[in-house]
Amino acid sequence: MTQSIQHYDSLLEAHKKRVNVILTRLKKMYPKAGMVLRYSNNWELLVAVMLSAQCTDKQVNIVTARLFKKYRKLDDYVQVRQSAFEKDIYSTGFYRMKAKHILAAAKMIKKDFRGRVPRRMEDLLKLSGVARKTANIVLGNAFGIVQGIAVDTHVARMARIFHLTRHVNPDKIEKDLMEVISKKDWFRSTYLFIEYGRSYPRLREHRRIDHPLKYLE
């Protein structure tokens, strides 16, 4: 048992050192890494993040440029018919499910949270269609509250490539990353990994290509 604990501690320290090197390099490569979705209030932030699932941020910004002019208040989302809203977000993909979740979240926020996006993780997770990734992004960008690491497809892929996790479940990946990344870097690390993933889109766990951090794989 003692040897197992020592081995785990040794492995954990190795991961911490590797991720520190990775983040130091990424901070130099992407000094302005951060949120690129466009919004003007906390509700619009939540909508944009929900629309971004399986969709590029660029396409979401195109859609929300029109959407946020058409639906200016939370009540507009509460009152619109789902079939009509689906047409407005069609090009983001999975539009039926996204429309269902966004409109349900709007109604719950109006009814249970006095029309304001909640600022607690446990409350955000009560909203339809909101998991920890979305909640972490909203908390960090809207309120400056950091309780975890938002794990999207880029973050998950980078975590596996650099042997920071063996899991595929986002919540388990987040837990592994929180163990090896300093809390002061939790919020920014998401965007650094995303930028790297976008810069090297052909990078995959089982396809070895040249890239600046290859020596850390």
Which tokens belong to 147?
């309780």
DSSP letters spanning 101-157: HHHHHHHHHHHHSTTS---SHHHHTTSTT--HHHHHHHIIIII---SS----HHHHH
CATH code assigned to 18-34+148-216: 1.10.1670.10
- How do residues 7-23 score in pLDDT, each as one tens digit? 556 777 887 998 999 99
- How do residues 132-158 score in pLDDT, each as one tens digit? 999 999 999 999 999 999 999 999 999
Residue written as token pair 């320290």: 13
Over 70: is that where the pLDDT of 169 sits?
Answer: yes
Task: Taking residues 201-213, report their average pLDDT.
Answer: 76
CA 3, CA 195: separation in Å to the nearest integer?
A: 39
CATH topology of domain 42-143: Endonuclease III; domain 1 (1.10.340)
At residue 14, the pLDDT reads 81
Q: CB–CB of 178/151 below 8 Å?
A: no
H helices of the chain, in order, are: 2-29, 42-51, 57-70, 74-79, 82-88, 95-112, 121-124, 132-138, 153-161, 170-180, 186-199
Residue written as token pair 């396409």: 59
What are the residue ranges spanned by the domains of the chain? Answer: 18-34+148-216, 42-143
| pTM over cut 0.85 | yes
- How do residues 32-83 score in pLDDT, each as one tens digit? 999 999 999 999 999 999 999 999 999 999 999 999 999 999 999 999 999 9
- Amino acid 122 reads E
